[in-house]
Every structure is written in C-alpha cells, then in structure tokens.
Amino acid sequence: MYIYEKKGRYIIDFQDVPSKRAEMPEISVEERQGNFKEVETGFPEEVARAEAKRCLSCRRCLGCALCWAECKPEAINFDLPDQDVELAVDKVILTSGLQRKIVPIAGNVSNKHMNVVTDLQVERMLAETGPSNGLILRPQDGEIPKKICFLQTFGSVDEKLRDATLIYGINEAILAQKKIDGVDISFISPAMDAFKAGPAGSDLDKVSGISFTNGTVVEAAEAGDNKDIEVKYEAGGSEKTETFDLVVLLTQPQLPPSIEDAAKRLGIEVSYASFLGKAGDMVDTDKAGVVLAQNV
C-alpha cells in the first residue's frame, strides 16, 4: 500500500537512520604541499562496508512513491515500460573523446618516481589556475627544475598521432622556457627523425634552447639523494646516459572504450588518428550517413 497523498504531498522524514555518514579521510595540509598526492585517501575496507550497510538501511527507498508525490513536473511514471526507441536521422556524427595511455619504461613502473610526471600533469602546472599557479615544480621537493627531458616511451604509431603527441609536448616545452630562465630541455623520441622530415616538424631548427634526439629510452631510475632521474637511451648506435631534474612522459592519445564500442555498433573501424585533422571538419566514413568530427 502506497503511503503518499498526491495533493498534500505527505512526506515522511525518518529520524532513526542507524548512524551518521562516515567522513572521508584526508591527508594533512603539510603532506599536500609541493606534490600532486590525492587529498582524499579513500575508506578502509571495514569502513566502506559499514558505510554501504548504513546507506542500504536508511529506508528511504521502500517503493512508497514519495518521490512521485514530490515531483512537481510529474516526470516520474512507475507504469512506463522499458522500450527501444528508433530515430530516423540524416547523419550520425561520431566524436573522439580522449583518454591517454601511459607507457612505462624499465625502472619506472607506472610512473612511480616522484620526479617523473606526464605531459598532462605539466599542462596543469603551466595553467595559471592550476595547483602550482603556473609554475613548473618537481613534485618531490617543490623545486623549479633546470634540466627537463620529454620522453616518448611508446613505439611506432600513425604519423598523425605521432605528430599530435610531439607537437603537444613541444608546445609545453616552449611555454616552460618562458617561465624558467636558462632551463635546459631535451626531447628523446624514436620517431624524431621522421617527425622532422614531415611538415609538422620542418621548423624545429628554428626552436632554440631545446635539443631533439632520435632515440629509444631503455631505462629510467632515481639518482642521488635529491632524486634526480637518470635516463638511459640508445641513439646513433650507442647507449647514452643523462641525468635530469624532471622527466616528462609523453602520453599516447587513445579512444575511450565507449567510443570504440559505438563505432563497432555503427559498423566502422576507427582509431584516434582517424579524428586528427582540421578542427571542426567532418570526415566521411565507409558507412553512409556516419561521419567523424575532427579535432587537433
């Protein structure tokens, strides 16, 4: 039997919820300074279980239809059956979405060294409204790095994807130059020669103060008490070693699983490179009526 009154909107306020909501544990203010640690540490398992039980015992979902009584627009309809809806459209536009894969290197499993960051983290640092107010800082000690290396840790990819990744990192490096006087910046990528030979990298010689090396990273490890990063890489037929204050991993753009699934359902094959081009342009696919919205 429903316990509601449609016109009077009779609502019961339960006063006997078994316990108060658990408070999320957080690290101290001191621990947050000069790094990117998560402030909220999450519930321990026993607290999470207790919180789940508390939530399920609040008795506010009894099938009483109080939500129906409270909904002024009458948007809730308990009698509405589930149904598949078919829409006739002239065109389906598929957008890329974005997620970035971090490809670790030996000695740097899952970006475990504090002074190894990603290009996305550097983007946040460069933002005036970011966590470091536009400054590039070493997470380990909050110092401004004087020697930075951008590394491409993933292998051969579509040239458009390669160009997009390297241009993204190079733009960050140029901005870093403007913020840090005398900073020494290096790029190491197994595709650097191919990038330079293409139209996107044809002007690299005009970029001063940044070195570009065609090489493959072998290993990265902490060096010394100040936790600098020692990078071993192969270039020009020999193995070399350099030490940097900060290492930036270039992440690999990928399509989210939801976009890949949507493309599969539409009967087309796409990768993230399929969406790279002039922003705003539409690209036809093999499936009539399905187009891709390009981005840069």
User: What structural domains does the chain harbor?
Assistant: 92-97+254-293 (no CATH), 103-250 (3.50.50.60)
Cα atoms in the 13 Å half-sphere on the side-chain side of 168: 22
Each residue's pLDDT tens digit, 157-183: 788 888 889 999 999 999 999 999 999
- The mean-pLDDT minimum among 111-115, 222-226, 263-267, 273-277 falls in 111-115
Each residue's pLDDT tens digit, 9-62: 444 455 556 667 788 999 998 888 888 888 999 998 888 888 877 766 665 555
* Rounded-to-integer distance, Cα 125 and Cα 246, Å: 13
Q: What per-residue confidence (pLDDT) applies to 60?
A: 56
Q: What per-residue confidence (pLDDT) applies to 9?
A: 42
Q: What per-residue confidence (pLDDT) applies to 2?
A: 42
Residue in 59, 112, 99 with CA at minimum distance from that of residue 260: 99
Residue 211 Rama label (left phi>0; alpha psi -120 to 50; beta): beta
Of 80 and 118, the structure prediction assigns the larger pLDDT to 118
Q: Which residue has the tokens 């239809």?
A: 65
